[in-house]
Structure 1
Amino acid sequence: MRYIAGEDRGQAALLPATIDDYVATDAPVRVIDAFVDELDMVGLGFGRAVPASTGRPAYDPRDLLRLYVYGYFNEVRSSRRLERECRRNVEAMWLLRRLAPDFKTIADFRRDNGAAIVGACRAFVMLCRDAGLFQARLVALDGSKFRAVASSKKIIGRKEIADEVVRLDRRIADYLAGLDEADDAEPDDAPGAVSAAITALHARRAELGRLAAKLEDEGRTMLVEGEEDARPMGKANGPKPPSYSVQTAVDADSGLIIHHDVTDEVTDKRQLHPMARATKDMLGRTELTVVADAGYANGAHASACEADGITPCVAASRSVNSQGDGTLFDRTAFVHEADTDTLRCPAGRTLVRKQLHRKKRNVTYVSLDCSNCALKPQCTTAERRFVKRHLDEDALSQMNARATPDLMARRRCAAEHPFGTIKRMMAGGRFLTRNLKGTRAEMALSVLAYNMLRAINIKAAAA
């Protein structure tokens, strides 16, 4: 049996008259083109959005944005690979009308227009909202770690800095001590070779001093040299790689990412209120319901959310009963009297406020008298009972009560799927750019590509 055979490469063919005929009418690249074409490039703050009247003409920022969105949509993020796509990919040729900018121009565009790219990502979310693709009746918050460009070998702490300073001082001293001897023994050497080496060592010494001062000023134990916004993060045992924490707020019904951010926070403890408030402001809502996992449990943030008209549903991580052998009355058995700021024990006796712990955000209450109490054997083995109550106990309890198993299952299905898709599109979840400025621009392109893919699928399913 013969194989399916292709045409002879020397055979003349009647090709389509225009390049537009090569791109299907329902191809996603047409969605990218239409969206970027309607953006207010000046309002978003893109550089060179208004052509210069003199000098060499520049590339239209719309074309470069089209190229980047198309690249991230198709898992092509490198500026050099995007340059190659412009010369061999029919859709890229159609999108840029056969323009082929060099990789430096492409890379500079992403570097110089980070804030504007984030604005373009938000503009697409607003477009989806106005088109009725989501209602944001429930918003799921989640965070995930994305690897930084820097290597784990670039993580440096106070001990490493001190050790390298000692080595540098020794080398500088050796150079200076043997300078005259080396010049006499080898007079034909380049006259500036030794002094250049000493200058380089002094420059490195000064850089180490700056890093040590930064550690001291920011109260950190270590930082990533060359990418100081990154921090060692992760759950695996052993050394943590330099990473960033990416936060998302996802519509639970449609799976679209409404809001996102890239932070250097190692945990999610301080992200509940900032993410919920930013999502609410972006949507222009007066009320919002958000759900998150236990990593977001924070009493102060729960109270702040309720004060801003946000209803948080988070499973709070509370300490277990540590009274006696765990069988004595837990703090939940004591009723708080808000009018007098006291606690009432199961026996009806009063515990008064004794001490405020501002850092831990709790108050210690103590019983005035536990003598002759019939329930004392079930309450404490000490002379009097002490109870600690969180300053935001009511907000924490209500937030925890709302986090039902069904709601947490919805959160998991809604929030974790986008991260899986984005990490696949980003080669496992590693940035190509450095520091928060660059990574925020790159994540905005990834989120825009994901939302665009999701919106296309939603429309296709509804057709």
Structure 2
Amino acid sequence: MRLLSQILEELDYSKLHLAYSPLGRKPAVSPKNLFKVVIYGAMNHIFSSRTIEKSCRRDINFMYLLQGEPVPDHNTIARFKKDRLPKSIDSLFNQFTLLLQKIQEITFETLYVDGTKVDANANRYTFVWRKSVEKYNVKLMEKANLLLRTLYTEKDIPQPLTLAFMKDCLLQLEKEKQETNLTFVYGSGKRKTPLQRNYETLSEYIERKTYYEYCFDKFGDRNSFSKSDTDATFMRMKDDHMHNGQLKPAYNVQIGVEAEYVVQVGVYSSTTDYGTLVPFLNKVETAFKEKFKKIVADSGYESEENYVYLTEEKYSSFIKPQNHEIVKTKKFKKQIGRKENMEYDKEKDEFTCSNGRKLVFKYDSTQKLKSGYERKLSTYECEDCSNCPLYEQCNKSKFGANKTLRFSKNFEALRTVSVQNISSKEGIKLRVNRSIQVEGAFGVLKGNYGVQRFLMRGFNNVEVEMTILCLGYNFNKLHNKRSSNRLKTEYHEVKIA
């Protein structure tokens, strides 16, 4: 507690003070002391605002951090985390990371990156799917076009039909109702006029169209969101104890670790890890104006786009390929249809299959990924697969087509470099430390701290909550390393049995 108080006294809170209005009364509890209380609560696995308030009344350590100021109400603590911290928490976290560099605890040498999915504070049955909304939207537009043909000629209806045009039509129906002094009727035994039926039907269509437009706005580049927390995306979680697949609203949390300290936090809606590496490293570089030299990650981050980015930015990448363990198995080596099990002649640029037939280069094609990255794919085709005794083992085609191979040469070359990196003595040491440091950090946060589900909703609030947790983790780590005389130790040495 004293270590926490001493270090947080050195930080600059100017951005946090800007979140408060200069008018009115001065806050009863200073922002700095309130920040200390919140971080100390995270260090002791206390996250609820009401529990923090109770601790401030009963725990002498919390009383010491308040420095004689009145106990903050739980509403004050909740507003502090929701309204005050979002614009300043990154600055405070980065200041602490730079302070660790100042005392030589981190060196910006090696960054271990990993991610995990944490449940959002949302019901699992509140899903909205993009494909369903698109399907219902198309059907609605067909019905709306059919209705509007009774009011206008087909030439006067813009295509595609817009919400603004539908609202203009409704206003005209309203105007026609006023001009004719028509009174709408309701209830059984009442006969509605065509004008009333058209008016009510068009009103319903506008309401549904407005909701679909709202859904498309919330989707962004996602395929789903939750009604309870519209920033949460439905993701495939790890199986439960009965081995049932879990599809829940969640956030993809990324952290970067060096010397056992979390140096950066990021929250994303991507359901995969490889799509988060580039924005995460950009965030690290923007925060510290300094690059790490080595990036260590698991196979979930392997992609041609990430390899190219790390090469262009002059990072030393240590990413484990997704097929690194599979290619060593006997089962893989028996799959004669794979290019890895075929002979390749670099001069002639052709493959030779197990039956001695040649697969020659045919053409190059370009594939554009969702992120906008374009990858070049090369296609090779066997000259003749007819009457081949190994056809069924080699070719999966059901129509007797010739065997084809389609892959990116650039990706294969970059993957080879990565294999060489992780197989070196340094690579083995970094891979061992990755499993200890970054996965160990998630183990502590999710296991010891019990962070299985966020308490707050929305990207900004969730990022604040995760950053507070990581700050509490870092303070505990600094205190433990100092107590066990392990300061300035960056790596765990590889132990051989």
TM-score range, shorter chain: 0.7 to 0.9
SS at 1:430's partner residue?
coil
Show the counterpart of 2:255: 248
Relative distance call for 1:180 and 1:312 in structure 2 (3 A) is farther
Residue 403 of structure 1: how far off its partner (Å) = 2.7
In 1, Cα distance between the equivalents of 2:333 and 2:52?
66
In 1, Cα distance between the equivalents of 2:188 and 2:9?
65
Show the counterpart of 1:56: 25
Show the counterpart of 1:117: 89
Show the counterpart of 1:389: 407
In 1, Cα distance between the equivalents of 2:471 and 2:454?
16
Aligned residue among 269, 294, 298 for 2:299: 294
Amino acid at match of 2:25: R
In 2, Cα distance between the equivalents of 1:180 and 1:458?
82
Q: CA contact under 8 A between 1:366 and 1:384: conserved in structure 2?
A: no
In 2, Cα distance between the equivalents of 1:271 and 1:159?
24
Show the counterpart of 1:143: 115
In 2, Cα distance between the equivalents of 1:84 and 1:148?
26
Q: CA contact under 8 A between 2:380 and 2:405: conserved in structure 1?
A: yes
Matches within 5 A, 1:163-312: 177-178=186-187, 208-214=211-217, 218=220, 220-233=222-235, 234-236=237-239, 237-251=244-258, 254-279=259-284, 282=287, 284-285=289-290, 288-312=293-317
Gaps of 5+ in 1: 1-28, 167-175, 182-200
1:442-462 deviation line (CA, Å, top 9, x unaligned): 111001110111111112222
1:275-304 deviation line (CA, Å, top 9, x unaligned): 344445555545511211111111111111
SS at 1:152's partner residue?
coil
Relative distance call for 1:230 and 1:329 in structure 2 (3 A) is closer
In 1, Cα distance between the equivalents of 2:296 and 2:440?
15
Q: CA contact under 8 A between 1:71 and 1:82: conserved in structure 2?
A: yes
Q: CA contact under 8 A between 1:142 and 1:416: conserved in structure 2?
A: yes
Amino acid at match of 1:357: T
Aligned residue among 50, 72, 94 for 1:101: 72
Matches within 5 A, 1:440-455: 440-455=463-478
Amino acid at match of 1:413: I
* Alignment partner of 1:85 is 2:90: no
**Which stretch of the first structure deviates more once superposed, 74-83 or 322-331?**
322-331
Gaps of 5+ in 2: 141-184, 191-203, 370-374, 487-497
SS at 1:244's partner residue?
strand
* Alignment partner of 1:327 is 2:327: no
Relative distance call for 1:34 and 1:158 in structure 2 (3 A) is same
Show the counterpart of 1:363: 377
SS at 1:327's partner residue?
coil
Structure 1 length-normalised TM: 0.72
SS at 1:149's partner residue?
coil
CA RMSD of aligned residues (A): 4.0
Q: CA contact under 8 A between 2:362 and 2:381: conserved in structure 1?
A: no
Identity of aligned residues (%): 21
Residue 312 of structure 1: how far off its partner (Å) = 1.4
Amino acid at match of 1:38: E
In 1, Cα distance between the equivalents of 2:105 and 2:287?
16
Relative distance call for 1:429 and 1:366 in structure 2 (3 A) is closer
Relative distance call for 1:40 and 1:353 in structure 2 (3 A) is farther
* Alignment partner of 1:398 is 2:433: no
Length, aligned pairs only? 392
Relative distance call for 1:366 and 1:46 in structure 2 (3 A) is same
SS at 2:454's partner residue?
coil
1:108-131 deviation line (CA, Å, top 9, x unaligned): 111122131122112111111110
In 1, Cα distance between the equivalents of 2:98 and 2:283?
14
Structure 2 length-normalised TM: 0.68
Relative distance call for 1:412 and 1:120 in structure 2 (3 A) is same
Residue 209 of structure 1: how far off its partner (Å) = 3.6
Residue 159 of structure 1: how far off its partner (Å) = 8.7
Show the counterpart of 1:155: 127
Show the counterpart of 1:188: none
In 2, Cα distance between the equivalents of 1:303 and 1:144?
24
Relative distance call for 1:345 and 1:180 in structure 2 (3 A) is closer
Q: CA contact under 8 A between 1:245 and 1:264: conserved in structure 2?
A: yes
In 2, Cα distance between the equivalents of 1:238 and 1:302?
31
Amino acid at match of 1:35: I
Show the counterpart of 2:493: none
Residue 435 of structure 1: how far off its partner (Å) = 1.1
SS at 2:247's partner residue?
coil
